[in-house]
Structure 1
Amino acid sequence: MDSIKVHNSLKPGGPVPFVPIEKGKLSWYACGPTVYDQSHLGHARNYVSTDIIRRILMHYFGFDVKFVMNFTDVDDKIIIKARRQRLLDLEKKKGYTDAQTAELAKAAFQAYAKSNLPLLVDSEGPELDVNNYIPRRDAAYGKLKMHISNMTQAVIAMNTNSIFGMADEILLPYLDSLYKETIDTSDQSMFTDLTKFMEGEFTDDMDNLNVLRPDIVTRVTEYVPQIAKFVERIVEKGYAYEAEGSVYFDITSFEKDGNPYARLRPDCRGDKALQEEGEGSLSKSLGGKKSPGDFALWKKSKAGEPYWPSKWGNGRPGWHIECSVMASDHLGSRMDLHSGGVDLAFPHHDNELAQSEAFYCEHGHEHNWVNYFLHMGHLSISGSKMSKSLKNFQTIKDALASNYTARSMRIVFLLGRWNDGVEISPDMRTQADNWESAVNNFFINTKSLLAEASDITAAQNGVKDISLDDKPTEGLAADLEQAKKDLEAGLINSFDTPQALRAILELIRKANIHIAEHKSDMDLASLEAIARWITKIVGILGLDANAKPPYDGLGWVSAAAAANLEPTVAVKPYQDVRAAVVKDVQSLDLPTSDAITSLLSQSPDTEFDALASSGVRDPEQLGMPYLRSVSRLRDELRRVAPTLSPDAKKPILALSDRVRDYDLTNIGVYLDDRPDNQPSLIKFIPAAELIKTRDEKAAKEAEKARAKEEARLAREKADQEKWEKAKSKAEDMYRSDERYSEWDADGMPTKMKDGSEVPKSQLKKLKKDWDRQKKANADWQAKFGGAA
């Protein structure tokens, strides 16, 4: 294997050689979430991509990885959200009258507009209220902004007197502006209740996405004394200073000693907006900085904010310092890897680097705190950054409940390089779905072919994996070796997962061609070796939530297999189906058949006992003897049925269909019926997929039957109307028409109502209609008899 190379944000350009501090071991710190709200697809992009790299390093390259991740559980966003929720709870207890509640809502409504949508209140005319809001909104902003949505929701709430609950988005900031300094923050439960809940929600999301849990989890609130000591050391070394109760990092002093600042994003060091975002919205009023770029290591706590004691007075940690302290506590003065989303590169990670290297460096000597910085690329939805205001914002929970599975989401991320932006578009989703289907179908078909060939021993114990020592020169063995080379070339090139997925897809394509062209001389050993290798790789990439290292099975691991049930428990669904089928076959009125008699007398129990005794725990393998028994019985019934009378054939075919479409479908087994008396192929497909397909087919057939019945009824109605009309004689069809005043002996009009002659052009059309009715009436008399 060639040396691994990796994109390192500390060294712009192409991938650089990856050299761990200690051979075979890796130390890794990942910036975790600020736990104040539900996680969204942007979080999924970051943490799933991180998980993919971690799994590759551990399970493909064999590194012993020590993985540390933090939860930011004290932060401006957390403070604001928790404080506002506490204020709202207090407000609800005040016992307002309806009039007082309406007045509160009106004040909050106007304050929110003034702060976020100033054009609504700057316009001339009456004061903004629920009555003039809509026309002002549409004239000034349209309907796209998130703030517009909040205001519109508030109008609905105010008109229905449902302020608390429906208008929280405008009420919360207003209450905060009035009462934030009155909150007793010595009781920090308002903050910890929020962060503990959201940490649990995040962890659940990551579990559902099959993201490995960190080896070590750290929380800021558990490290505040250590953070204060860490800051003290930086001050003592002359790289930080106290001002008005806060402590700031002194970038000028740091650089004077020969230390570089903004190593990751030097182009951003003067970006005021990013600097302010890094400091937090609650820190705008903090003063005393020597330079605008200096950043807070310790913030003086204002009224309404949590606080901890320090030598500078009550305060709280700055955002960046937390990671320096927590990472250093577990990984020491140097680490191999540090990761996070690309949006953290500046100022967060650049500030982390500066303060950590200031802490550890000796004057005149640089200190490299991190060897490799990995930044995960942005996520966009159909070309646009994910945003609530654009209505393309989606939480992980909502995504998994609606249009994604954990596997399909991971495949989407695998199709893009981890350090590039990923755009989720319909084409990308289709590409991911097609890749997953190709792998699914290959696993299903390979397992069914092995079972059909009675290669049960090979399916349990595995065909010897083909290695380079075997020197394959042609056929599937050579294709497998080429795929291994192509995949590894991608993984050592900065974990190029798109190339890895292409290598797998190309190998499957070649294997499928072999299956199609070699029906009688199939290379089952190589097919199984390919399937087992692909199983290992998809396991390493985290695509099988039920699989565990070393991923040496064949195909996706079912939930039943992952449960590792006792063989007698695992096999029961298959035994029950066979018992029911045997009973129903015995109840059929069948002609004497030695084949059916023999099949009914054979017991799969002996084969099952042998499998269980040999240590097999895979329910599919354990159930195969019973499934083969059912399949062979059904195949024999289908062979016999055409020779019987229609009355005798009907119950046999009904039982055959029921076994395939219900008995086996409900336990995740599909029988693929083949022509020319070939035995059915037994395929394991998740029951939910089979049931969905069955129900969709039934719905289509029901819709087809409904449409057919509607068409029949429409024909009947038209036919009835036709014969009802045909009952009338042609001689009578115009006599009641008030447009005419005289008729001839055949009932044809001769004079108009005003006494004028009927125009010749009109007579021509009237005569055609008369002739048609004459013929129709004759047909009616011939069909039904008698005169009208």
Structure 2
Amino acid sequence: MENLKLHNSLKPGAPVPFVPIRPGEVSWYACGPTVYDKSHLGHARNYVSTDIIRRILRDYFGFKLNFVMNITDIDDKIIIKARRQRLLEIEKSKSYTKEELVKLTRTAFQAYAASSLPLLVEDGNDLDETTYIARRDASYGKVLAGGTLTGEGKPGDAEAKIKMHISNMDAAAEALKDGSIFPGADEIFLPYLDSLYKETIDTRDQTMFTDLTKSMEALFMADMDALNVLRPDHITRVTEYVPQIAKFVERIVEKGFAYESEGSVYFDIAAFEKAGNSYARLRPESKNDKALQEEGEGSLSKNLGGKKGAGDFALWKKSKAGEPFWPSPWGDGRPGWHIECSVMASDILGSQMDIHSGGIDLAFPHHDNELAQSEAYFCEHGKGEHTWVNYFLHMGHLSISGSKMSKSLKNFQTIQDALATSYTPRSMRIVFLMGKWNDGVEISPDMRAQADNWESTISNFFTNTKSWLAEAGIESGLKSLDISSDKPATGLLAELEQAKKDVEAALTNSIDTPRAMLVILKLVNTTNSYLKDNKDTNLAEVEAIARWITKLVGIFGLDANAEPPYEGLGWASVISESTDPETAVKPYAAVLEKVKSDIAALSLSNEAIAELLSKDPTPEFQAIAQGGSRDIEKLSLPYLRVVSQIRDELRRTVSSYDQQTKKAILQITDRIRDQDLTNLGVYLDDRPDNQPSLIKFVPAAELIAAREEKIAREAEKARKKEEARLAKEKADQEAREKAKVPPEELFKKDERYSAWDEQGIPTKLKDGSDVPKSQLKTLKKAWEKQKKIHEDLKAKGGL
């Protein structure tokens, strides 16, 4: 813990020592989501990476954390989306004729193009659905083909935004062509209707905003739960803090660091710096970036005037018609974006905190403005600058095709869709663990392949280790095995000790999870190689490695079922609190009963089988359950062991039975492996030389998928075999038909020739000229071949 260093955006460069305000405790504020749309993989990157750091600080380094996250439930994006949705609902409820609606849609279509894709209308001619495609391809063909608008460099955010607008226009053009205006034209209608009617919306009723934000917040939380992201210790919402925000702003004004202008309040950067404070400490190079300043102010604040300095930013915004409002000393208005976090974080954590985190895109102006206004609020004249945040942690972007993944660019995949189609919560977290938290990540096929390989390697190691221990009859783990600790570590234990040191070095070096993941993978690969070359390996050493890796993957959040202190072995397989052990093992007990019944019906003369059929694993199960275990693997193992033993004995003695009994036994043993146990997520690994099968617990979905793949392969093999048989049969038939033709008749129907000799060999071509000698030679060879196959067929009685 004393050696921990972190990358701190306030001190760019190498990681710096992490020294919390209170020893052993960490206060942390994380910028949460603006809840106006579904969360996407970019959000997953931010919040999962934050969760990984949080878990490592808590469970590896032992810090006690106070973790606060905000929900931005009112800002320009939320206002615009909620208001536009309301206006669209109103528009859809109006009674338009088809002609009127088409005319209105074309007007919106042209307005959208003029605003978002100006090259489409630069010639001044009207644009409609009939001319759109040609103009689109002429104006933006380079972008659509994967290039840039200028034809130089690599595509980025600008090109992603163009593609997003083109997608909206494409949908609207199709809607105009087929006459079904909604929902195809929704996206082009939203800004158009807003430009016409935004000031007519009665915002005294704020339900249009809260309905949107509450539903989106619920979806966000569900996504975070699905990704095994720990819930914050405190959640704050902007709309619950508006009075406190107004008072906070008042205090900054009183101290001379802000001023009121035309009903809005702005932070006075010049006054702040004149008092000896620093502005834009995170991104000094962006201090005068007008584009970033405007983005930070929000799209609804472009026309707010009265600023003293170009970079001064809004603490309180005067609400215009069509915007929500709250009372304040400066009139009806709403909070600026940056002030929200300052007030909420300070309310929970006080005047100083250890860590503030968020996505790298928030560094300027959001976090720089947070710092300035908070330090202005807490500073005392004559005592120098106030330190509000000690460590700023910024998570790197997730990119797609060179562009930041963003809701505003609509170039994202939602977390829900990703989990439904291409990721599991574990596989997604592994991808993020394999990249440094403060670096950008571009998900590539190669990265996915590496992550999948890591997961399968670790999973197989866990599965095999548990199987070896089960085979050895070891139930209580290391307590029943002897690992001598009074000697220097050698062999696998030496590898384990080195791996521990390497992981420690990686995690103390600014939570370098990619390095830690490689250390874990290397240790497993080394162990697997060692086991191949050393048949008498002490299982205690293998188990010690598996348990240490189990602890790490638990700390990293890779096992949603595991809880601190992560002292199990492998991925946790606990049953839910609402399920009692007897109910949980019923499917396994049912398989055993079915196997016993089927084998008893065969009336086999086999004492070993008879003894196994009389075995009752219930007392063993009850002992495990009474010991408090809720691990389904341990609970079910007594039943599975008997099933496996019966099957092994049947396979060992099957050759001693008659053919009919042998066939029945093999059908049962195959069914046990491929159906009964596969459906329960249990794999029997058959081994040679009469060794007992290893019982392995593998996710049922994986086993079933492998079974279906095997069936599909066998079906494909059978199909190809049948196709080959039919093709051969056809070829043989064609050969027989050809062989039936006497050689004298072989060329008689060939229109290229006009005369033949007594053997039927052509002598004249169609034009009466002699057949060339070179061609005649070829014809005679064909005639000889036909004579041979014809005579062979005749000899076989085929004619």
Equivalent in the alignment of 1:696: 709
Deviation at residue 627 of structure 1 after TM alignment = 1.1
1:319 aligns with: 337
In structure 1, C-alpha distance between the alignment counterparts of 2:402 and 2:267, rounded to whole Å: 38
Q: 1:23 to 1:525 in 2, by over 3 A?
A: same
SS of 2:549's partner is: helix
Tell me if 1:245 matches 2:244.
Answer: no
Q: Which residue in 1 is equivalent to 2:543?
A: 528
573, 593, 596: which one aligns with 2:606: 593
Q: Look up the match of 2:154.
A: none
Alignment map for 1:722-737 (pairs within 5 Å): 722-737=735-750
Matching residue of 1:216: 234
Counterpart in 2 of 1:513? 529
**Matched residues in 2 for 1:156 and 1:205: separation?**
33
The aligned runs of 1:475-514 (5 Å cut-off) are 475-514=491-530
Contact 1:10 1:373 in 2 (8 A): yes
Secondary structure of 1:164's aligned partner: coil
> Secondary structure of the residue that 1:689 maps to in structure 2?
helix
CA drift of 1:754 comes to 4.7
In the TM superposition, residue 649 of structure 1 has moved relative to its aligned partner by 2.1
Percentage of identical aligned residues = 70
3-state SS of the aligned residue for 1:163?
coil
> What per-residue deviation string (whole Å, max 9, x for no partner) do you get for residues 235-282 of structure 1?
011110000110000011111111111111111111111111100111
Distance in 2 of aligned mates of 1:626 and 1:282: 67
Q: Does 1:296 align with 2:296?
A: no
- Where do 1:361-510 residues align within 5 Å? 361-365=379-383, 366-381=385-400, 383-386=402-405, 393-458=412-477, 472-510=488-526
Residues 422-462 of structure 1, C-alpha deviations (whole Å, 9 max, x = no match)? 22222221221111111101100100000011112327x68
User: Equivalent residue for 1:151?
Assistant: 169
Deviation at 1:755, TM superposition (A): 4.3
Secondary structure in structure 1 of the residue aligned to 2:358: strand
- Separation in 2, partners of 1:80, 1:772: 86
Q: 1:388 to 1:82 in 2, by over 3 A?
A: closer
Deviation of 1:33 after TM superposition, in Å, equals: 0.8
Structure 2 CA distance for partners of 1:387 and 1:464, relative to 1, 3 Å = farther
Q: Match for residue 38 of structure 1? A: 38
Distance 2:693 2:167 in 1: 57
Q: How many Å apart are 1:180 and its aligned residue? A: 0.8
Q: Provide Cα deviations, 1:146-180, integer angstroms capped at 9, x if missing partner.
A: 21121111110111112121111111111111111
Structure 1 residues 679-688 or 733-742, which shifts more? 733-742
1:101-112 alignment runs, 5 A limit = 101-112=101-112
Q: Secondary structure at the match of 1:67?
A: strand
How far apart are residue 733 of structure 1 and its match? 2.5
Which of residues 196, 201, 204 in structure 1 aligns to 2:222? 204
TM-superposed CA distance for 1:388, in Å, is 8.0
**Could you tell me which amino acid in structure 2 is paired with residue 609 of structure 1?**
Q
Name 1:254's counterpart in structure 2: 272
CA shift for structure 1 position 392: 5.7
The answer as to 2:48 corresponding to 1:29 is no
* Letter matched to residue 533 of structure 1: W
CA–CA distance in 2 between the matches of 1:606 and 1:435?
A: 39
Q: Which residue of 1 aligns with 2:327?
A: 309
The AA in structure 1 aligned to 2:333 is: G
1:81 lines up with 2:81 in the alignment: yes
In the other structure, the counterpart of 2:776 is 763
Aligned equivalents of 1:133 and 1:760: distance in 2?
A: 67
* Counterpart secondary structure, 2:236: strand
Give structure 1 stretches of 5+ with no counterpart.
none
Report what 2:292 is aligned to. 274
CA apart distance, 1:79 = 0.8
Residues 382 and 425, structure 1, Cα contact 8 Å, conserved in 2: no
In structure 2, how many angstroms separate the alpha carbons of the residues matched to 1:248 and 1:511? 63
In the superposition, relative to structure 1, how do residues 640 and 593 fare at CA in structure 2: closer, same or farther (>3 Å)? same
Cα shift at 1:383:
4.9
Residue type of the partner of 2:48?
V
2:792 equivalent to 1:779: yes
Tell me what 1:557 maps to. 572
CA contact (8 A) 1:5 1:493 kept: yes
In structure 2, the residue matched to 1:618 is: 631
Measured after TM superposition, the shift of residue 666 of structure 1 is 0.6
Q: Give yes or no for contact 2:164–2:411 (8 Å, CA) kept in 1.
A: no
Distance in 1 between residues matched to 2:21 and 2:367, nearest whole Å: 20
Query: What does the per-residue CA deviation read over 1:738-779, in whole Å, with 9 as the maximum and x for residues that have no partner?
Result: 444443332233344454443333332222222222222222
Q: Is the 8 A contact 1:464 1:529 kept in 2?
A: no
More displaced stretch, 62-71 vs 374-383? 374-383
CA deviation string 1:449-492 (max 9, x = no partner): 00011112327x686999xx756421222322222222122222
1:115-194 matches, cutoff 5 A:
115-123=115-123, 126-142=125-141, 144=144, 145-194=163-212
The 8 Å contact of residues 546 and 562 in structure 1, kept in 2 or not, is answered as no
Task: Write out per-residue CA displacement over residues 542-598 of structure 1, whole angstroms, 9 at most, x where no aligned residue.
Answer: 00011112211111012x5355732211221211111111111122253x2222122
Compared CA separation, residues 755 and 353, structure 1 to 2 (3 A): closer
Question: Structure 2 residue aligned with 1:604, among 587, 600, 617?
Answer: 617
CA contact (8 A) 2:42 2:406 kept: no
Which of 533, 542, 558 is equivalent to 2:557? 542
Distance 2:4 2:496 in 1: 22
Name the stretch that deviates more: 639-648 or 690-699: 639-648
1:345-386 residue CA offsets vs partner (Å, 9 max, x unmatched):
111011001111111111122211111111111222365533
1:52-82, Cα deviation, whole Å (9 max, x unpaired): 0111111112222111111111111111111
How far apart in 2 are the matches of 1:28 and 1:40? 24
Match of 2:580 in 1: 566
Aligned to 2:353: 335
State the shift of 1:528 in Å: 1.4
Give yes or no for contact 2:375–2:388 (8 Å, CA) kept in 1: yes
SS at match of 1:456: coil
Give, in whole Å, the separation in 1 of the partners of 2:509 and 2:752.
Answer: 91
CA drift at 1:616: 2.4
Which range moved further: 680-689 or 568-577? 568-577
The residue type equivalent to 1:540 in the other structure is I
Partner Cα separation in structure 1 for residue 7 and residue 218 of structure 2: 32
Moved more, 48-57 or 764-773: 764-773
Contact 1:749/1:758 (8 A) holds in 2: yes
Deviations 1:107-136 (A, max 9, x none): 001001111111111126x42111111111
Which one of the candidate residues 657, 661, 677 is aligned to 2:690? 677
Distance 2:123 2:477 in 1: 80
Q: Is the contact made by 1:490 and 1:496 (CA closer than 8 Å) also made in structure 2?
A: yes
**Residues in 2 aligned to 1:84 and 1:434: alpha-carbon distance in whole angstroms:** 46
How far apart are residue 297 of structure 1 and its match? 0.2
Greater shift after overlay, 50-59 or 2-11?
2-11
- 1:663 Cα shift? 0.7
State how far apart, in whole Å, the 1-side matches of 2:716 and 2:351 are. Answer: 69
Match of 1:584 in 2: 598
Deviates most, 547-556 or 689-698 = 547-556
SS of the aligned residue for 1:141 comes to helix
When normalised by structure 2's length, the TM-score is 0.94
The answer to whether the Cα contact below 8 Å between 2:37 and 2:407 also exists between their aligned partners in 1 is no
Counterparts of 2:577 and 2:591, CA distance in 1: 21
- Counterpart contact for 1:35–1:71, Cα < 8 Å: yes
Structure 2 unaligned spans of 5+ = 145-162
In 1, Cα distance between equivalents of 2:619 and 2:511: 48
Deviates more, 1:50-59 or 1:390-399: 390-399
Segment drifting more, 381-390 vs 62-71: 381-390
TM-score (norm 1): 0.96
